[in-house]
Amino acid sequence: MLELIPSFVTILFGVGALGLALRDYMRREQGLIIGAFALHLVAALAQVFITRDVYGYGDMLTYFHESAFVADRMREDFLAYAPDALRLLFQQQTTHFAWLDESSPATATMYGLSAWLHYLTQGSLYATCLLIAIGAFFGKLAMYRAFRPLFPSHLHQRMIAGMMWMPSIVFWSSGLLKESVAMIGLGLATYGIIRLADSTSSTPRAALAIGAGSVIVGLVKTYILGPFAIAAGAWYYWQRGLRLSGGQALSLRPLHFALAMALAMTAIIGLGALFPRYALTNLVDEASRLQEVGQSISGGSNFALSDTAPTSSSGQLAMAPLAVITALARPFLFEANNIMALVSALEMTFILGLVFLALYRRGGRECWQVIMRSPPLVFALIFVVLFALGVGLTTTNMGTLARYRMPMLPFYMMLLFALLPARAPRQPVRLRRQRLNARRESPLPGPHRS
C-alpha cells in the first residue's frame, strides 16, 4: 500500500500533463505519443523489479538507499536539513552529510535528487522511477516538438517511433539513473537550441530552456555538453550558410563559421573550467584511465578495443573508428550472452539494418547531400559521431554501453529515419510490360522537314 498510493498519484499527474500536451498534435501522432508514454510507465516498473527483485543491486538502489537517511532527517526537521539536500543536489559541501558530498560530483547530485524524490514520494521507489520516466518522456517530447516543423509530415510518425519507442531509449530513461536525468535536460536544451534558431520563437523562453537543460545535463553527465556545443555551433553555421545561398549549396561564410566555432570553443573551454576532469588537456588521460579500469575487471560482457590503453592522443585517435562503430552497432548477435544483451543485440541489428537500407535506397552520395542540405541533420550527425566517439573509447562493458549511449539514440534514430525515402508504389507488372512493348513497337521519328 505504501508503494501503491504514491505510484497511483504519480501516474495520474503524468496522465494529466499528457492530456494537456496532446492538444498540440495531430490524431495520427497522438496514438503513438500515448503508446510511448505507456511504455515509459511500464519500463519504470520493470526497472524497479529487475534491479531490486532480480539482481538485488545496482546504481539505482545505491542512490535510493543512501539518500533515505537524508529524506528521513528532512521529515524530522525540514528547515534544518533541506538546505543540505539542496547542497547535495548542486554538488556543494554539506553540514550533516559529509560522507555523501565526498562522492564524485555527479553521484552527489544523484544522492541529492534521490533524497528529494524519496521525501516527495514517501519512500516509494516505484513512484520515484515513475516520476523520472515521465520527466524523460516529456524531455523527448519537447525534442520531437522542436524538430517536428523542420521535417515533412510523412516523417513525423517515424520520428516519434524512433525517438520514443526504441527499447533502449525507453528502458534506460525510466529509472533513477544519471542517463535518465540527463535525458530530461538534453530534451530541454535541444528544444531551446532549435527554438533559438527560429526567429519567430520567444528568445527568453528558448534561452531559459537551454540554461535549465544545460544545468541538468552538466550536473549528471557533463561530457554530453561538449558534443552538444559543437553540434549547436555547426547548426548555426549551416543554417546561416544555407539561408544566404538560397538553400542550394552551403556557402562558406568566414564570419559565420568563425562565430559558430567561437561559440563551440567557448562552451568547451567553459566546460573545462567548471569541470576540470573534462578539460581538453585531461580528456586523453581520462579516457586512458577509464580504459585501464575496464580492462582490470573481468566479466562475460567485457570487451577491449586494444590490448593496452594508449596514453597519447595519437594512440586514442587511432582507435577512434573502432570506438564509433562499437557505440553505433555493438553488441552483435554473436556477442550476446544473456537476455539483456540479446535484446540490445537485436535492437542494434535492427538499427544497423536501417543504415544499410538507407544506403541501398539512396546511395552514400545522396545520403550525404540530404544531410548537408539540412541543418538539423548536420546537428544530429555531429552530435552522434562525437558522442559515440567518447562513449566508445571509455566503455568496456556491453551492458553499460547500452545504457551510456542512450542519450544519443533519439538523434541517431531521427537521422536514420530522415534518410529513409518513402518507397514509391510499385506499378503492376502487366502495366510495365505494356509500356515496355509499346516503347519497342513505336516507329523511330523520321527526319524533320521544313
Report yes or no: 80 and 111 within 8 Å, Cβ to Cβ.
no
Residues 6+ apart with CB under 8 A from 197: 235, 236, 239, 375
Q: What's the DSSP call for residue 302?
A: B
Neighbours of 65 (CB within 10 A): 12
Residue 189 confidence class, pLDDT cut points 50, 70, 90: very high
pLDDT of residue 341: 84
Distance CA 401, CA 38 (A): 25
Average pLDDT over every residue of 310-336: 78
Helical H segments across 198-279, by residue range:
203-220, 225-244, 254-274
Name the burial class of residue 48, with classes exposed (0-12), middle (13-18) and buried (19+) by CB atoms within 10 angstroms of its CB: buried
Instruction: Please indicate whether residue 247 or residue 208 has the higher confidence score (pLDDT).
Output: 208
The single-letter code of the amino acid at 380 is A
pLDDT of residue 355: 93
Residue 357 confidence class, pLDDT cut points 50, 70, 90: very high
Q: Does 9 have pLDDT greater than 70?
A: yes
pLDDT of residue 448: 44
Distance CA 355, CA 369 (A): 16
Q: Does 262 have pLDDT greater than 80?
A: no
Residue 259 confidence class, pLDDT cut points 50, 70, 90: low
Helical H segments across 245-338, by residue range:
254-274, 280-295, 313-318, 320-329
The single-letter code of the amino acid at 132 is I
Q: What's the DSSP call for residue 252?
A: -
Q: What's the DSSP call for residue 296?
A: T
pLDDT of residue 199: 67
Q: Does 47 have pLDDT greater than 50?
A: yes
Burial 76-101 (b: 16+ CB within 10 A, else e): eeeeebbebbebbbebeebeebeebb
Average pLDDT over every residue of 26-43: 95
Instruction: Please indicate whether residue 438 or residue 408 has the higher confidence score (pLDDT).
Output: 408
Residue 278 confidence class, pLDDT cut points 50, 70, 90: low
pLDDT of residue 99: 87
- Grid coordinates representing 142 are 519537447
Name the burial class of residue 17, with classes exposed (0-12), middle (13-18) and buried (19+) by CB atoms within 10 angstroms of its CB: middle
The pTM of this model reads 0.84
- Grid coordinates representing 4 are 501503491
Is the peptide bond preceding residue 254 cis, with omega within 30 degrees of 0? Answer: no
Residue pLDDT, tens place only, 383-428: 999 899 888 887 777 878 889 999 999 999 999 999 987 654 444 4
Residue 252 confidence class, pLDDT cut points 50, 70, 90: very low
Distance CA 407, CA 180 (A): 8
Instruction: Please indicate whether residue 430 or residue 406 has the higher confidence score (pLDDT).
Output: 406
pLDDT of residue 269: 57
Distance CA 75, CA 73 (A): 5
Dihedral sign for Cα 312, 315, 321, 324, please: negative
Of the chain, the percentage scoring pLDDT greater than 70 comes to 76
Residue pLDDT, tens place only, 101-149: 888 889 999 999 999 999 999 999 999 999 999 999 999 999 999 999 9
Residue pLDDT, tens place only, 59-82: 999 999 999 999 999 999 999 999
